[in-house]
Chains A and B, each alone.
Chain A
Amino acid sequence: MPDPTVPAAPARHLSGGLASRARQQIGVVLALVALIVVASLVSDRFLTVPNLLNILRQVAIVGILAVGQTFVILTAGIDLSVGAILGLSVVLFASFLEGHSMAVAIPLGLMAGVAAGLVNGIGIAYARIPAFIMTLGMLSFARGLAFIHTGGTPIAILNEAYYDVGNGYILGLPIPALFLLATLIVSAIILVMTPFGRSIYAMGSNEDAARLSGVPVRRYKTLVYVVSGFLAALAGLVYSSQLSVGTPIAGTGYELDAIAAVVVGGTSLFGGKGSVFGTFIGTLIIGILANILNLTGVDPFVQQLFKGALIVIAVYVMSRSNRAR
């Protein structure tokens, strides 16, 4: 009799791994499918190519933020400053573009996000300030910088090439959506296939055990907030070019939308469990819901109620099905 306890073929592990991963995600995917079915019944404009592309463009900004948030939440942290970092980067992009080319302005704006993330990371990993507090402070600080820099008035962006970044198409796909997809793919590869990604899950699952196993916890933790800050600035790039204006209030409250997308996507706030794929689905669920409500002409104030209810119900259903297993 073959020993059932020692698995023989690698193929079995692979399928086992994929199967269990699929099982974790299935609830979220089913919810997305159900939502799409409902949406196409409610509005015949929903399942049209322009509308679907429109959704992708609309969710790009929050989607990119949510990917960065996923890195952070996987380590059992939280980043409340992403909306404010987006706002800061937006005004910086706009003002750098006043005297410089895109090749200069874009890297500088992105660096601002990296710098803010680095400060977050150092405060959290080395000074051991709770992530909630550190990033709450950064939220206020970055927003303050954005206001100081602009004196409170938006800066217009006149660079036409820059306008295309947020509004153009490549191969029929809106460029912001391509940014989102690229972010997703690169992030998924980092999380699944690199020591950094693996260590993120380990730290989120049990930080002390990870440290004792030789994982450079402080360095990687810092890096996670740098990733989040960088992606916030990248989202700011999309934002500022879509609107062609650098307004200091850009992204206000987006951190909560990003967290919502991560959580609806099945990533545990306690860390160690989740994926950017789930976050993408979560982003789509929230985006599609908003889209149907728009298409059917629901009052924007009422839309807020739907979104709030969706978040709570989604997480409730998921925690139930987790327990059932």
Chain B
Amino acid sequence: MGRPWLGRFRARSGSLQVVADHPAEPSQPVSTPVTGDAEIAASGTGLALLEGRGLDKSFEGNRVLSSVDFAVLPGEVHAIVGENGAGKSTLIKILGGVYQPDAGQLLVGGTERRLRSPRDALANGIVAIHQELSLAPHLSTEENIFLGHFPMRAFAVDRGEMRRRTLQLLERLSVEVDPGRPVGELSIAQQQMVEIAKALSFDARLLILDEPTAVLDQDRVATLFKVIGRLREQGIGIVYISHHLEEIFQIADRVTVLRDGKRTGTEHVRAVDQDWLVNRMIGRDFPPHAPHARSSGRPAIEVEGLSVPRQFEDVSFSVNEGEIVGLAGLVGAGRSEVAHALMGLTRTSAGRIKVFGREVRIDGPAAASRLGIAYVTEDRKAYGLLPNRPVLENVTVANLKRFFRFPFLRRRKERAFVREMIGLLDIRLGSMSTEIRNLSGGNQQKVLIGRALAVEPKILIFDEPTRGVDIGAKQEIYAFIERLVAQGVAIVLISSEMEEVLRLSDRIIVLRRGRVAATMPREAASEAAIMRAAALA
């Protein structure tokens, strides 16, 4: 697949501020180097763009936020971190006017305000940009930016003025996007920029970025960070949410940690390290990681010269029983596409697949599961969840045959299996008739792993197994993958998280533009080696 957008979406490096590992002093009046609570109070008096004091919020008697203080200064990137369920989304929804706090105050520029709706927040210069972007795909970039406040001349949209102002905004961000092109044709990264430009067109002074990097690959993250750096220079305050702690250290000035709805700390980023963050977030220790016993099993799956037109070409690798092979590479390198081909979702044009030494033809997921191959998707929403169905059905759907004895499904057997999965994976839910959409990301992922186990897989493909999952659940999923491999399951691990690949894999295959760029054993692998193979031609 070509990448026509690469050329158009190059940040103009000449005019960019380079965002170093640690940002230079922000140009705005931030810095009395006090830390913690004292600073919040100090900065709160008039200096802060937005300040929340003693924010409380409960849902149906469940307290999800209790007396949280939070302030954002002009020209600072203030990160909020915490596990899923710690209250991050509730807090940013209060800041963005979606929820009203039960108690506490919001001050905008030092004056108390009530933000009754996102529109209200917008009127106060506050814009939240969520993971799911809210653009109209068939409208052009400029139309999206000015939707709802088109520059008018008499009774018509002043297209010339709209184009001029769009280019100005894009210039401010130092990004190149064709203003006339339908947004649906842009890459996700470009669409994000359009969202940001749209926010600026409303004179936003505070941007809330909710997991902006979750949908981006490495080089696009760098571009986003440069844009954030520019916005900071221009005195815009940014609230930054991310699961990736290393990003906090790259981009944030201050960080606030939430745990169980309480603020457990606010610090200058340069004053703290990862351990500090993790301790405040989880308040518990993980068992140290013990590498699993090296495999000596027979080859479970062998892929030779596999090709799918316009996706990947001549990909070969093999995975033994009791072995984890990591598939690394940038987003778009063809990793998930290889997995899809192994599940029979796409038609291969060349190559062979052998399962336990026997050459097989896989014409669909059902055939794959008969061969003992299971796949845990990277895109839970699109390809994983049956959102409005109970957890039980979400687990057993992958192998109804197993629970079927003519003429009926055996509910009792289904329940027993699901109960076993709930125990095994430590899935937290009220009951297995809960609709899966009501679970947290981590628990949803565990349910889908349980679904994969329903086919008793001998070969298990994990595609981004910890995406959108909190730290606690992440560790549990790692531990679980290691247990599976210890039992002799062959595992293919697709992941964009370097740490994850390095930690779990016995061997690492790096894909670049649909081809195998490198194969390295665990001992020889390093973040730098993978990055070089993945990103450098």
Contact = CB atoms under 8 A, between A and B. Distances in A.
A211 B407 contact: no
A25 B277 CA distance: 47
Counting chain A CB atoms within 10 Å of each CB, which of B365, B385, B428, B430 scores highest? B365
Given A206-B387, A216-B366, A198 B409 contact: yes
A202 B390 contact: no
Given A16-B433, A198-B397, A211-B365, A7 B419 contact: yes
A216 B398 CA distance: 11
Interface in A199-214: 199, 201-202, 205-206, 208-214
Contacts of A17: 390, 433
A121 interface: no
8 contacts: A194-B407, A195-B400, A205-B387, A211-B364, A212-B377, A212-B383, A214-B365, A214-B455
B399 interface: yes
B398 A5 contact: no
Contacts of B382: 206, 208-209
A10 interface: yes
Interface string B167-193: 000000000000000000000000000
A214 B398 contact: yes
Interface string A258-287: 000000000010001100000000000000
A216 B399 CA distance: 12
* A-B complex: 5 closest residue pairs judged by Cβ atoms: A205-B386, A195-B400, A214-B366, A16-B431, A5-B428
A20 interface: yes
Contacts of B365: 211-214
Contacts of A273: 388
A206 B409 contact: no
A208 B375 CA distance: 13
A6 interface: yes
A218 B46 CA distance: 63
B415 A10 contact: yes
A214 to B, nearest CB: 4
Contact of A202 (B366, B397, B429, B431): B397
A209 B423 CA distance: 24
Contact of B430 (A7, A199, A209, A214): A7
A193 B408 contact: yes
B30 interface: no
A272 B400 CA distance: 17
B404 A10 contact: no
A209 B386 contact: yes
B401 interface: yes
Contact of B389 (A12, A13, A215, A272): A272
A201 B408 contact: no
Interface string B281-294: 00000000000000
Interface residues of A, number: 31
A209 B398 CA distance: 10
A53 B376 CA distance: 53
A42 to B, nearest CB: 38
B216 interface: no
A7 B400 contact: no
Contacts of B428: 5
B520 interface: no
A209 B400 contact: no
Given A202-B397, A205-B387, A214 B429 contact: no
Given A206-B387, A209-B377, A273-B388, 10 more contacts: A16-B433, A193-B409, A198-B400, A199-B397, A202-B386, A206-B382, A209-B383, A215-B397, A268-B388, A272-B388
A202 B389 contact: yes
Given A194-B407, A201-B389, A205-B388, A10 B412 contact: yes
B343 interface: yes
Contacts of A202: 386, 389, 393, 397
Interface of A: 5-7, 10, 12-13, 16-17, 20, 189, 193-195, 198-199, 201-202, 205-206, 208-216, 268, 272-273
A201 B386 CA distance: 9
B385 A198 contact: no
A210 B412 contact: no
B226 interface: no
B397 A210 contact: yes
A198 B390 CA distance: 11
Nearest to A271: B388
A201 B393 contact: yes
A213 B377 CA distance: 10
B54 interface: no
Nearest to B384: A209
A199 B366 contact: no
B439 to A, nearest CB: 11
A216 B366 CA distance: 8
B385 A206 contact: yes
Interface in B393-418: 393, 396-401, 404, 407-409, 412, 415
Contacts of B451: 213
B519 interface: no
A210 B366 CA distance: 11
B369 interface: yes
A206 B407 CA distance: 25
A325 B433 CA distance: 16
Contacts of A216: 366
A195 B423 CA distance: 25
Nearest to A208: B383
A195 B409 contact: yes
A2 to B, nearest CB: 13
B397 A213 contact: yes
A10 B385 CA distance: 24
A77 to B, nearest CB: 16
B386 A212 contact: no
B471 interface: no
B535 interface: no
B422 interface: yes
A7 B455 CA distance: 23
A16 B404 CA distance: 22
A138 to B, nearest CB: 28
